Every structure is written in structure tokens, then in C-alpha cells.
Structure 1
Amino acid sequence: MLRVLSLLLVVQLCVAQQLEWPKQYTAKGQIILPYGDIVEPFTAYVDMSGKGRSRIDYYGGSAIVLNLGDEGQYGAMFKIVYETTQDFANVMTCFAVPGASGAPVTPQGVLPDISMYKYAADYMYNDVMSEIYISNNAEEEKNNNYTLLVRKDNKNPILFRFVGLDRLFGSHYDEYVIEYSDFETTVDATVFDYAKKFTCKGFPGPGLTLAMTENPMFEFVGAGEYEEKHRSYKVDSDFEEFKGHHSRQYDDEGEEAKRKTHFRHNHRYIHSMNRRDLPYKLRVNHLTDLADGEISRMRGYRHTPDSPRDTLYKPSISDVPEYYNWRLRGAVTPVKDQGICGSCWSFGTVGTLEGSQFIKNGMKNLKAFSEQSLMDCSWGYGNNGCDGGESERAYSWIMENGCIPTEESYGGGRYLMQDGFCNVNKSECGAKISMYMNTLPGNVTSLVMAIAERGPISVAIDASHKSFSFYSHGVYYEPACGNGADDLDHQVLAVGYGTLTPGDPDSEYWYIKNSWSTHWGNDGYVLMSRKNNNCGVATDASFAILN
């Protein structure tokens, strides 16, 4: 993704070369965020003359931001994106916010302030003779290093890179790159009239805090006098809000700095993804200050070639309704939080047993069963507590043990978020099972019929993609998802299915209950696309037959 820029800058700074950006330009390129695995293409139209105007199209025009300094007394910002509500889907909509005396809207360029840079050396970059300009400054314990490459012949920009070093902890706290592929010193003035095609409405939220999320280039190259004062305003304020909302208290300044770095990169990723034309949206949640490796510990589905399988499900019904939701029918207990522990398999297992017991009881008397008991007691069947497992091994243990305990009676009703001592002989039996079944692997229709006939079903999915970690709402479809048995890494509960838009197969979904708390997703749930068995929802689905 990122072409490594190896610049040997062990050179003495020379006398500054003359470099000045044009007042008007059109630029194409991409923002590269290595820590977020994001490459975001853009096309920018900039006119810095007078009060100035700018327009930046992201992801081929799926998000368009106009900063018109000549609109009203203090300028105005317009964002044009696809909007989806309860009444319509994917309608291009214009949002607007006027500038104010304390926060006028100014044009947003895509080039850094060249007055901060000094010429360092000539450099051959991708067979193009270029000039290197650098800028370094210190901020408390941080070293901020900026590198700019321009063509030597016409001074057009090639690449702009920032690397932030934390001297105290010896780590990179930030890095981003802007690559410029095309650059012209003219601009078509009619592009600034684009918002006039719409009836624009107000932005959801306060104006000043929109600077980074609605105008993302602002964070990377700044915008005039607001560059130093407000570039990090949104991340700073959102991080403080995040800490308060999730009661975060870090051990020391070093830990807080590390967590804020994770938050910054995840924050950028979330808002960059939301600028794409996707059928779902992301949001900041309780995982946003975690590293990818920490989040991966919550994905504990472990499939092996010798994983047990009992009986293949054969439906006894020939027709099913187009929509089913066992949560609305009362067969699903509230969403729980597994914590930083790979115990997801126990939650998927318990969920299908709870639903089956509810149905067996005549659609009444929903009881919660103990995930902790499965974590503590099913090691002999191949499960490994917080280090992972799968439903089929849990069923085997329940059949041998005789039953699964109720949540209330096992260990005082506590879920420990860690492996514990097996207390199954001191608990009340919640449900007994005689056998378990798997739906036809990879067959979407088989899983649909099982949900309609048998209730909530334990399913394994590929949840390894960052987009899943910060899912908010919409139908989740991840093209990079795998659906083979070896691709799956997380166990969840399929409690229903349906279609958002009748007649549109791309809007067909599974209704999935996760175990990452109600802070995640839509109150702890996600709509996952049924298209092509995306993310493998139908690959390993199982349920048990109760005695």
C-alpha cells in the first residue's frame, strides 16, 4: 500500500530555495493512513484568491466538502453525502453550516504551509528528479517531522509525509502520507456551484467540531490561522468525551498517551470509512482506545479439523416467512459483555440453548444460562476458556455432564472475564440436551430455515476486519471477509433474518447478537449481509435438541 520513502536526510540544511504554491490549483491524490490501513483517494479544487473557495471530493465523490469563504459574512461549509434514514436509502444530501465570527469558514487546501519548510537536498524519486523540503518542531515530549517532495522542474507536489515521534516512550505516535498523482495550476470555477443543485439543511452537531470529521484534510495540512489552534480539536474533545462516557482512568500519563494514540488512529479510520459509499456506518465505541491486537483477543472461535460434528439438520418445514426476529418474540436474553477474553464461543452456545428452552416452555419463562460454567468446565472437550473454543465442544460437555447450569446458580451468577474453578456440582440445572445439529455448511437457505424452525442459532463468523470492530448500523458487508471454515474467528448468535428493501437481494440480512456490550453496534446487535454467505455466517451454524 504505502511506498516506503527512504530519505537519507543526514545532510546539512542549505539556503532555502524559492518555492511558492499557486493561488489556484486542481490536485488528485490519496491520503494514506498506515496505522488504519486506509488509502483514501481525493480530488481537490482550490482557489485561494479573495476570500477563497475549495471543494474536495473523497472516494470518487461519495463525500464532497465545499468551503466557500465568499458565502455570507463568515463563509459556509457544505458536505454532500449519501444519506439513509427510516424513510429512504442512499439519497445524495447536502448539509451546511455557516461560519461565525470566531470560526469563519476558509478554503481548505491540500498543500502544507511552505513557509515552515527548508530545502534539504535533491532526490531521485520514482525516476523523477525532486527536491526535498523538511520541517521539524518539538511539542513537549514529541518530535514532529514533516517531509515534502516536489518536482525539481515545475515545483509541483509529489508527496507530503508526517512522522511523529514520542521521545519519552520511544515510539511513533502518528504517521500519515499524502501522495499527489496529478496537479494543475488551473481550476474550473463552476465546480464551486455544486451545492446549488441541492436544498441544503443543517449539519447534525456543532459547527466548530465538524472541522476534522466533515473536513478531514484539515487535520493533515491545516487551514490558515486555525492550523495550530484547531487541527487536533476534534480528536482531543472526542477523546475527553470518550473517557468520561466509558469511565476510563489510566494508570499514568504514559498509558493515557498510548491510549490516545490508538484512539486517534481508530477515530480517523472510522470517519474515513464513513465517507465511503457503504451500506453501513461506523462509530466511536468502547473499543476505540484499544490496539488491534487487544481487540483480536475478543475473537475466540477455534475450529480444528477434528472439531466434533453430530447430525446434519434436515428441515421439517417447506416454507418460511420473509422476516423473523426471535428477540421480539422474547427468546433472547439481554446483550452481555465478554470483556477482553476469547470467550465468545460460550456466549453463542448459551444463547441458542436459552432460546431453545424458551420455545420448549411454550414461548415463556426465558432463563439465563452460565457462560462461565462452559469456560471453567469444558476443557476436557477441547475448549480453552478465555483462549477460545467452539459450540460443538461445549455441547459435547453438556451432554456428558448432564446439563448446563443456570447463570444465577453458578458461581454466584458472576461472569469473571477469565478462567475460573469448575463449580458445576454446586449449581442448578438449567437445560439438558440429547444431541446437537449443524446446518448445511455454507448454505444460507439451510440457516434461514433453522432459525425459523428451531430458534436462535449459534454461528461463527469472520470478524477480523477493523470495520466490524466499530460497526454502528446498516447492513454490514465486508468484501474482504472470508467464509471458509478456517476464516472464522468469532462466535455470535443469529436471532433472525430479513430484508431492508423488499425485492433487493443486496439488502437481505442476518440479525446477529454480539457479546461486546450494548456500547457496540446497534444496542449490541449487527445486521450482517446474507449475500454470498459474507463473513461465513452460514458456514458453521449449530443448535442443540433439548431433553
Structure 2
Amino acid sequence: MGFTCSSCAATNAAASCRQQSLGWKHRGTPNPHRPRLLNGGATQNHTPLGPIQALGGLCLLAAASSLPTQPCYLSRAVRGVDGCRMEGWGWLLVLGAAVLLGAESKAPLERPTFGDIYHVKGAISLPYAEIREPFEAWYNLTGGKSRIEYYGGQVVTFQFGSVGPFGASFKVTPETTETEVNVRKCFRINGTDRDPIAPQSVFPSLEHFRWVREERFRGQHCAVWQNVSYWGHKKNVYTLRVGSSARGPVPLHYEVRGYNSLLGSHYDKYEIEYSAFGHRFAPSVFQLPHGERPLPPQGPAGGFGNYACDGGEEWRAYEWIKKHGGIASTESYGPYLGQNGYCHYNQSELVAPLVGYVTVEPGSAEALKAALFKHGPVAVNIDASHKSFAFYANGVYEEPRCGNETSDLDHAVLAVGYGVLHGKSYWLIKNSWSTYWGNDGYILIAMKDNNCGVATAASFPILA
């Protein structure tokens, strides 16, 4: 099948998860503060208990562990010792050796690496948003290329760092317009000096991770690596579980509780399950579709200029709903996928037909208040580009760098009310991310100076 590709203006070691060993021999340089085992188990500070013919302290430990149910097993393991006089000393020796050797085994492991070239399958989950995205990824850092498929190839992204001066990304996705249904097309975005494009890894950088423990995870023994950081009062916890194989470390599971530094998304809980990890694949996986001719991108809102998961405007969606007699219900259409999908609205139940829509007076807080009071929730656009927004938790949000011009607005949300908290007037905003973000999915944005542009581009539909 041929694709249509359009060009868009750029805007935008191997530490295996092996079972932790007590280690039967001392590693590293001697510790001058640690008692040294002499004469098969006595320390420098105690009188030797007697010769232990050809048995060192570790052999004694092994002998003791092999006879756990027999009385006086330590004395039986050691020739030349009468009766059970040595039993108490033997227990102390066993415990002391275990503590010392166990402490040595806690030495930090080498951070795992997964190679510059790999192929892996898995699934990205946002439990609080009820999203689970299956994916398959190919990565070649040396060649500066990556490819990720979502939902079995429904959407495919390529990121090439070697194209042009700042790299380029390509997205192959289904598109539906008023004249075409589910036609797969390819769109290109060029990198910039401020935002160059590089291959997309599906593993986090482990630079600030530290080993914390070993455990069983879904039936496999693994090492747990963790990175804990803070942004203001918000805590970020990144946890990677790594298994082992004869060929080296194997990624098992990555959990994010906080800002998604890997995929660059908002504060939430994310989980990535990894499977079918390997290092070999055909170079042809990085070939782009051929035979494209440039066309302007149009989203599945049906030729009204929206871009589906890549953005759009409310009034364009209103126009589509007006023309088609309603919008499909979630129950009949299916859940939100987090990626562009194949359009099947004609197989769904359409609800909420519109007769029109109203654009609220731009910049007027009083007009927006009146719309909320008389008509209910109002669609608004805001500047959500700042990390302070991604990490919002409570209180009235005021961001001095927030823009309120139309060109500053980059996120559509829902205004559902307004009020005053500790003397500060605010808009009550419902976000679309998840209930893990913000205050159970909501944020209070300050009214002062039209902070973040809440009143700049507000609108609401008129139901039929």
C-alpha cells in the first residue's frame, strides 16, 4: 500500500540480575577494622579453639550448614575437638562469617546496560487513566535511528537523528476526512536548533539510579534499581527491574511515579512491561514508506483541520458534530487509546447533536463566569507548557511565565466552576490526564491577569 507523506513546519554492564551470593571467598582489599579469621575461625582477639585440620573458617561454615539437624554437628565436622564444647563458638562463628560475607555481597552492582542496538516488545500502561498501549521498538543509537509501533502497527513513529541538521521524525498514522476513511499517511516534523530530534529509547538513562535490592518479580529473580528525585514538594520515584540471561541484562519492568522523563509527559503513574528483548533485527525496519506526495495533514475530525492526538481546536470539532448529527458515545465507540485509531463512528451510536456553539468574549472573566453559571462547563485553552503545571498538586496555581495570548495556548481543558481560596480568585479546571495528576485530576488556576489564558479562547456547544 502506498502512503502519503506531508512535510510539516518544525515547531517543536552488564550487571546481570543474578541471585545475590553470600560469596564463599573474600573479595577486595583487607579491612583493617574487621577481625581476621585465624586458625580456622578464631579471631585475633580470642584464644584459638584448637587445630581444625585442613578446614578454614568457610569450610566450617559449609560443614555446619550441611548438618543442621544433628546435635553437636560442629564438633562432628571438626576433628580433634571433644564433645560439644565448640557448639556455642561455632554458632558465633557461623553468624559472624555470614554477617561479614553478607555485608561484602551488598557492594553496589554495576549499572546494567542494554546495548546501543536492540529490539523489544512491551506495553505502556497508565493505570489511573485506564490506558494500556502495546508497543514494539527497534533502536540503533550508532545509526541514529529508532522505530516504535503502537497497537500492532496502527501507528508507527520513526526518529532519525542523522537527517538534516537537527534530525527529523516521521509518523505513519490512519487519517479520515470527509472524502477518505482510514487512509494511512506519513507526516514529517523537522528538528530545530533548540529541539533536535534523536532516536527514541524505551529505556531510562540509569545515570542517577542506584541498586536497592534483589527480589522475585512475576516469577523471576531480578535486581531493583531506583532513582528518587524531587521537584518542589513533589516526589518522583523511578524503579527499574532487571533480570539476567546468558547474554546479559534483560529489562523486565519500569515504573514511574512522577514526571515521565522518558516519554516527556505529565506527572502520573506509568508502567512499562518489557518482553522479547534481543539485539538482532533486519536493518530494513527503518525504511520509510515510498511514493508519497505532499498533502496538508488533516485529522480524523473529518476534514475540518484537526489533527487527532496531535492537536486541534474545539470549534472544528463542533462543526464536525453538527454536520454528522452527533458524536459517538464512549460505550459504543470504545475507550480512549492514547494514539490515533481507525475511525468507525458509522458503527457507533451518535449522541449529543448540536445546533451551534458560542465563543465567549475573549479575555473577559465576567463573560466566562456568566457562561459557567448559565450553561455549565465551558471548553477553554491554556498554556500548560511549564513544569510547574505538570507537577501541580494543590492550592491556587500562579505561574508568572504563563502566556495568555492565543499563540501561547497549547492545551484544551474544561472550566467547571470558579471561587476564592485564601483571598485568591480561581477557575476550577478539569484536566484530561488522570486522577493521579493534580488534585484528583483538577487544578485551581488564578484569575489574576488572565493567568495562563483561561479566558482567552473559551467556547461551549448548544445542544439540539
TM-score by length of 2: 0.43
Larger helix fraction of residues: 1
The structure whose Rg is larger is: 2
Which structure's residues are more often strand, by fraction? 2
Q: Provide TM-score, normalisation by structure 1.
A: 0.37
